[in-house]
Amino acid sequence: MKKLSVIFILLCGMAVVSCNDDDDNQPNNVLPENDRMFVMNAADGGMFEVKAGELAVSKGDSTKTGMVMAGDSMSIKSFGQMMITDHTKANNELKTIADRKQVSIPTTLSEAKQKMIDSLSAASGAAFNTMYTRMMVSSHRETVALFEKESGSGQDADLKSWATATLPTLKHHLEMAEMMHDQ
């Protein structure tokens, strides 16, 4: 009977070790849910900024606004191009981090963001310019708040660092969008 007890204890111990070994197969980069949601929302917002920027380049006003940037004024088209450039860079950085964390980011816009792009696509002339600048103010306010939250309370060090490093550019975009919208 003692031999059976010893064998049973050994088998149980092996089962525990075996279960613990399975944990080694789990990715070390499993993100907490709040960080995962940040990735999803940041990716959606970034794609939106690029698509809206593309529309601004093709449909926006090319006359300079009263907004002064480093001694030069900026048009809707040039602001749109800056959105494409800056947000494409940020999107690529986010994708690199997400890939390392084994998180799939969306490749299409959320339904809400797609509706905004659809309504922007339907506009033209002064109505387009007004709608675009209004969307840029709203979108960047939302994005700055999202990045500030991740920067302050994110749990993943890589995402927190990236959010902190990206914030100054996003705040600059918001300031510019507000000036353009106020014109």
The model's pLDDT over 113-156, given as tens digits with 9 standing for 90+, comes to 999 999 999 999 999 999 999 999 999 999 999 999 999 999 99
CATH topology for the 33-182 domain: Ferritin (1.20.1260)
Binned at pLDDT 50, 70 and 90, residue 63 comes out as confident
Q: Name the strand (E) or helix (H) holding 150.
A: helix 125-153
Rounded CA separation 164/162 (Å): 5
The answer to whether 65 and 76 have CB atoms below 8 angstroms apart is: yes
Q: How is the chain split into domains, by residue range?
A: 33-182
- Indicate the length of the chain as a whole number: 183
The whole-model pTM stands at 0.80
Residue 5's identity, in one-letter code, is S
Task: Of 179, 158, 128, give the one whose Cα is nearest residue 42.
Answer: 158
**Ranges 1-10, 69-78, 146-155, 160-169: which has the least confidence:** 1-10
